[in-house]
Amino acid sequence: MTSPHRASDTPFAVNVELGKDYFWCACGQSKSQPFCDGSHKGSSFTPIQYSADASKEVYFCGCKASNNKPLCDGTHKNPV
């Protein structure tokens, strides 16, 4: 499987709303990071759904290498 595109070196802080679903871009090609805009079509990637269990600020992974997708787990600090 090919690696995702590293869309950002840092996470995206987003204010999510309780009960809403968000679709995180796993391929890194979306123009509206950190969310999917359909650019993955034709690749092996599909977006990952995030269902907000509270209204709060969360950090979505921008480097696309997190081991806790779709959220940032600090992996972006590792050298590439």
Which residues contact ligand FES by CB under 6 A? 10-11, 25-27, 29-30, 36-40, 45, 47, 61-63, 65-66, 72-76
The CB-of-56 to ligand FES minimum distance in angstroms stands at: 17
Contact (Cβ atoms closer than 8 angstroms) between residue 26 and residue 43: no
The CB-of-53 to ligand FES minimum distance in angstroms stands at: 20
The CB-of-33 to ligand FES minimum distance in angstroms stands at: 9
16 or 72: whose CB is closer to ligand FES? Answer: 72
22 or 76: whose CB is closer to ligand FES? Answer: 76
SS (H, E, C) the chain: CCCCCCCCCCCEEEEECCCCEEEECCCCCCCCCCECCCCCCCCCCCCEEEECCCCEEEEECCCCCCCCCCECCCHHHCCC
